[in-house]
Amino acid sequence: MPEGHDHPPVRLVVLISGGGSNLQAIMDAVARGAIHGKIHAVISNDPQAYGLQRARLAGIPTEVIDHRRYPDRTAFDRELRRRIEAFDPGLVILAGFMRILSTEMTAPFEGRMLNIHPSLLPRHRGLHTHERVLEAGESRHGCSVHFVTSDLDGGPLVIQASVPVHPGDTPEGLAARVLEREHIIYPLAIRWYCAGRLSMQDHHVILDGVARENPVQLEEVSAAELEALGV
């Protein structure tokens, strides 16, 4: 059931590049009232991204800004920023958005832009995280939600979830287990933000009025809160 709030639903804009499974998890959480927000647009840099179809099926407006049609990253970022700002979002959500954003793009949304990354940051920033974890022989892998800053995958960490690395794991199998955790912690972080419980101040994560020295771990989250998300 939706919870009581003293403010309108937070205006959300979601950026995607691919299948949109995290987008689906967020849409589901919004639909069940676990997130006090409304998705006003889903924007993709790839016209073939299946996530666009997910959004359309849910009646959410979609836009495509094909990066290949722009002469350089600056021109693309400028148009992306213009399109996002047209929706006046309270929160911008990067959900598998596979473009590196410039400071010109991230600065206007600092403190109201979240990303999910498939590693236990600060380890393994960038791409091919599952392969790199296996090559390094690590025993744990996972995912992290963080505020977006101009530092690639380096913004303040909100929450993480880990999975064991099994003998004989493949990048695909490992990725699938991590993705299951992504579908829990990303809606959870967005839930906190939309409830006014989560913010970024002076490059620090503030959760429930307390500055976090370390990210929340999924194991710390109460069963009642997870149940609200349908987990």
Q: Which domains does the chain have, with CATH numbers?
A: 10-228 (3.40.50.170)
pLDDT at residue 3, as a whole number: 58
* Percent of the chain whose predicted confidence (pLDDT) is above 70: 98
Closest CA to 186 of 106, 89, 117: 117
Q: What mean pLDDT comes out for the span 76-86?
A: 97
Q: What is the pLDDT of residues 31-59, one digit of tens each?
A: 999 999 999 999 999 999 999 999 999 99
pLDDT at residue 223, as a whole number: 95
Whether 7 has a pLDDT exceeding 50, the answer reads yes
Angle at 66 between CA 48 and CA 69, to 5 degrees: 135
Q: What is the pLDDT of residues 141-175, one digit of tens each?
A: 999 999 999 898 999 999 999 999 999 999 999 99
Whether 64 has a pLDDT exceeding 70, the answer reads yes
pLDDT range class, residue 14, cuts 50, 70, 90: very high
174 neighbors 143 (Cβ within 8 angstroms)? no
Whether 1 has a pLDDT exceeding 60, the answer reads no
Whether 2 has a pLDDT exceeding 50, the answer reads no
| Residue recorded with tokens 């639909």 | 31
| Residue recorded with tokens 């149940």 | 227
What whole-number distance in Å separates Cα of residue 16 and Cα of residue 19? 8
Closest CA to 203 of 190, 216, 212: 212
Q: Which of 36, 40, 117, 146 is catalytic?
A: 117
What whole-number distance in Å separates Cα of residue 88 and Cα of residue 91? 9
Average of per-residue pLDDT values in the chain: 96
Tell me whether residue 204 is one of the annotated catalytic residues: no
Structure tokens given for 141 = 């892998």
pLDDT range class, residue 4, cuts 50, 70, 90: low
pLDDT range class, residue 231, cuts 50, 70, 90: confident
